[in-house]
Amino acid sequence: MNMFWNLGAIGRPFNEADRSASSLPSQPSDTTNVRILESEVERLTMVCEAMWMLLKDKLGVDDQELMARIAELDLSDGKADGRKDTDGPRNCPGCNRPNSKRHDFCIYCGQLIRTTPFD
Ligand SMILES: [Zn+2]
């Protein structure tokens, strides 16, 4: 067994799936891409659950508070659709003009637009 650790895999060693993924042809099929994405979603879901369990244990917050915060975040784009719209332009906190998501700084006034780790 290869004992190199995949830093993105939260402490699990490379396994057969990892090896086969690294030897994929340069143009993986759509099916392969979907499998890779499903695997990443499952891993990220597990990481979120682990972080949530830590927060519950350390801070004493509960599931109802989390559900309320999720609903609040969902509605922050004006739609209760189970997702946060990240496709549209962001308004500058300095001049309130819309800027493309590609820019970290406002193209009009130079203000930092990316103000949270999730922007
Ligand atoms: Zn601006």
Structure tokens at 57: 């244990």
Write the DSSP assignment of 61-75 as a string of letters: --HHHHHHHHHHHHH
d(CA 21, CA 14): 10
Extract the runs of DSSP E, i.e. beta strands, from 1-119: 90-91, 98-99
Using the mean position of ligand 1's atoms as its centre, give its distance from the Cα of residue 106 in Å: 5
Q: What would the two tokens of residue 14 be?
A: 């490379």
CA-to-CA dists, residue 95 to 45, 89, 110, 117, angstroms = 37, 14, 10, 21
Q: What's the 77 CA to ligand 1 centre distance in angstroms?
A: 20
Q: Tell me how far the alpha carbon of residue 85 lies from the centroid of ligand 1, in angstroms.
A: 21
In this prediction the pTM is: 0.56
Q: How far is ligand 1, taken at its centre, from the CA of residue 103, in Å?
A: 11
What is the tens place of the pLDDT at every residue in 52-105?
999 999 999 999 999 999 999 899 878 899 988 777 788 899 999 999 888 889
